Structures are given as C-alpha cells and as structure tokens.
Structure 1
C-alpha cells in the first residue's frame, strides 16, 4: 500500500559541520550535542507534529542552529547555509550562491536575525522561505552529493 505522505531529505550533523567548515570557518562546534539536537529538529517536527510543509521543516533547522549556538562564531551564517542546502536537497533554493551579497541575501539575513531576536517565529520564517524559494533547475554535483548522503524520511 503506497503512502501519500511525502518523503523529504534531512541533513546530518556531519553535513552541517562540512558546510560550516567549507563556507564559514575551519572550526568544530564547541557544543556538538547542541548541533546534533538542532539538526534533528526538522526530523522530529515531521515525525511528532506530522508537519508536511517542507518550508516549515526547513525553518526549524536554522532557528535551532542559531538558538543552540553550537559554534563559537558563525551560527547565523551556518544556519543560513544549512537551511539553503536543506531546501536544495529537496528541490528548492534560497540563493544562487551561498552568502552572496544583494537583496535576497540581505532579506534572508534580516529574516534570520528576526528569528534570533524573537521578532519572528520559525513559522514566520517558513512562510518567508516559501515566498522566496525557487525550484532548482539544475542539480549540481555538490547538491547531488549532499542529497545522496542525507537521511530520507
């Protein structure tokens, strides 16, 4: 019997550490358990809350990364690139190039700061993602590698 519940790909803590190391700084999390907790958040929300909206799941990841503060520095940037990769491995993108300058990047940065300062909820961030994200037209080798390593659920 086929299930109508969509399956999504979820990043692993190792993948988020790799994104941080590649795009932010060559540093390990000072609180690895808090990073693991943050990375598990979208999976838990899908399972326990039966959340089927990809963008709401995506928004829970950066919220937890920023608030858990697993890294000494770069948590907001890590949260942004992790959310973007989470959406990319599921067929959407927030930005062409991670951490680019420009309106989209500035709006994303502002949205993340709003969540960090409790001006926005993760749900509001999810709605922002849904309005901002674009379908991926070309699957790059990097996105495919992350997609293939991700957890499917």
Structure 2
C-alpha cells in the first residue's frame, strides 16, 4: 500500500516561527530536544504508518508544549507549529495568529488543557479536526514554508 506524501517542518522553521511571533532572536534552550520534538510526527508516520495530519499536528504540539525546548512561549510555539504544519498540508487553524477571537481562545484553552494533563494528544487532535478549515489560498509565507519543508 502506497503512503501519502506529507510535508514536515524543519527545526529551523519552528525556530523561525518562535522568533517571529513569540520571542525575537530566541534560541532553543535544549536544541536536541527541539530536534527530537520536530521529528516526532515524521517518526509517527514512518513507524506507526500514521497519515492523519490532525493526529500528527497534535503530536507535534503536545511534544513542543511538554518538552519545553524553548525557554518561554512553548504553548504559543506549539500552536504556531501545528498551524503551519497543517497549512503546508492543506488545512489551517488560525486565520491570524493570536487574534482576539473565539477560535484562537478555544485553541489556547485546548493547549492549556493538554499542558495540565486534562486532555490527551488524541483529544487535541479531535479539537484540531473540529476547528480546522481547508486552506484554499496559500500566502507567500505558507508557500515558502511548504517549499522548504521535508516531504516524506
């Protein structure tokens, strides 16, 4: 059975998202942990044959939040990374990162629930699936991330 090709973020792309939206000029406090975290969805695809982009996005977000690879802003970085992962694979969670709207409030609450162990990654996956929309028009930023992502 042939597997579906997906695109996966690189460590440098997650760092760029973190630096752009969370902490300018930040570097990970645990670079090897960030590398492990970013490769986790790819490992899920390879070893578990997982192709559900929402499960892979939730895995990425959970690992970023719980492994604290960056000093500050792990939940925000997790949301940015999950959203961009979904965007480069045809979906989106946020129209505008961290906009003051009901959708982003729900996403923030979902991430807090995961960090507090009130939700599992599977529950986060279900939530992502319920709020995500198909990406109809790619922005220049999404096209840039997509073109330099790892296709696997």
For normalisation by structure 2, the TM-score amounts to 0.97
Name the structure 2 match of 1:6.
4
Name the structure 1 match of 2:139.
140
Q: Summarize deviations over 1:94-146 as a string: whole Å, max 9, x none.
A: 01011111110010001111111111111111111111100011111000000
Looking at structure 1, the residues matched to 46 and 2 of structure 2 have their Cα atoms a distance apart, in angstroms, of 15
Name the structure 1 match of 2:63.
64
Name the structure 2 match of 1:52.
51
Q: Is 2:119 aligned against 1:120?
A: yes
Q: Is the 8 A contact 1:42 1:58 kept in 2?
A: yes
Looking at structure 1, the residues matched to 60 and 18 of structure 2 have their Cα atoms a distance apart, in angstroms, of 14
Give the gaps of 5 or more residues in structure 1: none
Moved segments of 4+, more than 3 Å: none
Q: Secondary structure at the match of 2:96?
A: coil
Q: How does 1:32-111 map to 2 (within 5 A)?
A: 32-111=31-110
Q: Secondary structure at the match of 1:127?
A: helix
What is the total number of aligned residue pairs between the two structures?
151
Q: Secondary structure at the match of 1:29?
A: coil
- CA shift, 1:37, in A, is 0.8
Q: Summarize deviations over 1:36-67 as a string: whole Å, max 9, x none.
A: 11101100111111111110011000100011
Give the gaps of 5 or more residues in structure 2: none
Name the structure 1 match of 2:28.
29
Looking at structure 1, the residues matched to 12 and 66 of structure 2 have their Cα atoms a distance apart, in angstroms, of 19
- CA shift, 1:4, in A, is 3.5
